[in-house]
Amino acid sequence: MDTSQLTLKEFQQFQVFILKLCGISVPDNKITLLSNRIRRRLRATDIPDFEGYFKFLKSAAGKEELDGFLSAITTNETSFFRTEKHFDWLRTEFVDLVVNQAKAGERQRSLRIWSAACSTGEEPYTIALCLAENQHKLAGWKISVLGTDISEHAISKARSGVFGDDICNEVPEKLRSRFFLQHAESKTWEARPVLKEMVTIKRHNLMERISESGFDCIFIRNVLIYFSKESKQQVIENLVHAMAKGSYLVVGPSEGIFEMLGMLTKRSTFLYQKE
Ligand SMILES: C[S@@+](CC[C@H](N)C(=O)[O-])C[C@H]1O[C@@H](n2cnc3c(N)ncnc32)[C@H](O)[C@@H]1O
């Protein structure tokens, strides 16, 4: 069997399948790239050709392979404090705003933040860090940070709250020693209970509506860049539906959705508010 490259027909079948599965639109000129990515899954599953692999993916038996397929076609790249100004805003302006609102009796002493497409957990744990740093201002508050992703592989890592040595380059020493426990033998850092208790991780596809609503802030960053226009619109609708009145949407620099956010009020280059 020839597994050098997808035929045009196979490529088009995968394009449709991927769009439906997760909203990503694979451009017509990416046949070689997609062939290379899928070929890795042929080796991993011991399936001899693209056609057989496609049939397997769509079958009940192939359900477990979907995650391997998704990992092959998407990137889980992430880091703590990625695009730091977003977290500077969260830990200062946002915290002061909600604390003042609570003092004025305009809100409950509770906060719900959603990291939508959280990959391996660095984003929700950075959010938790920003709130933990403010633990005196937020004493007695009920705080929850939800992290979701479509990839089981990514969320199982996120759920562990354990991170590799890269954290040393990303989280300042003072915060690291205060909020993480170092396991020297495995060269890992585990979030301490004060962070873990804030964070919940679950699987969720952005193309669907999440069952929760009333979030005070949602982070949507570095995920929608490859989504089709219709998929982006669907995701935005789903996110806005989950936002509380007066809440904020933090948008990554390359989502390509700025012109689609007309229903929200722009507060800065990355920040949008539901009025
Ligand atoms: C590059 S990571 C971004 C992680 C984090 N938001 C950040 O900015 O560092 C993109 C993540 O989006 C996830 N993803 C892709 N399509 C998705 C979908 N339809 N629903 C939920 N997550 C999705 C991928 O599994 C991947 O973990």
Q: What is the pLDDT of residues 27-84, one digit of tens each?
A: 999 999 999 999 999 999 999 999 999 999 999 999 999 999 999 999 999 999 999 9
What percent of the chain shows pLDDT beyond 70?
Answer: 99
Q: Which among 74, 77, 250 is the best mutation to test ligand 1's pocket, defined by most ligand atoms within 8 Å of the CB? A: 74
Three-class SS state of 164: coil
All structural domains of the chain: 8-73 (1.10.155.10), 84-273 (3.40.50.150)
Distance of CA 182 to the CA centre of its chain: 25
Tell me the residue ranges of DSSP E strands in 94-232.
Answer: 110-116, 142-149, 162-163, 180-183, 188-191, 199-203, 215-220
Atom nearest to 24 CA in ligand 1: 16
- Distance from residue 118's CA to the centre of ligand 1 (Å): 6
Q: d(Cα 194, Cα 205) in Å, to the nearest integer?
A: 28
Tens-place pLDDT, residues 94-114: 999 999 999 999 999 999 999
Asked if pLDDT for residue 23 goes beyond 80, the answer is yes
Q: Determine whether the shortest distance from the Cβ of 120 to ligand 1 is under 6 A.
A: no
| 126 within ligand 1 shell (Cβ under 6 A) | no
C-alpha of residue 99 to centroid of ligand 1, in Å:
31
Is residue 189 scored above 80 in pLDDT? yes
Q: How confident is the model at residue 4 (pLDDT cuts 50, 70, 90)?
A: confident
Distances (CA, A) of 142 to 78, 92, 132: 27, 18, 12
Among 83, 147, 82, 91, which residue's Cα sits nearest to residue 114? Answer: 147
In the chain, helix, strand, coil percent, each to 5? 50, 20, 30
**Reduced to 3 states, what is the DSSP secondary structure of residue 114?**
strand
**pTM of the predicted model, to two decimals?**
0.96
**Residue range 104-147, pLDDT digits in tens:** 999 999 999 999 999 999 999 999 999 999 999 999 999 999 99
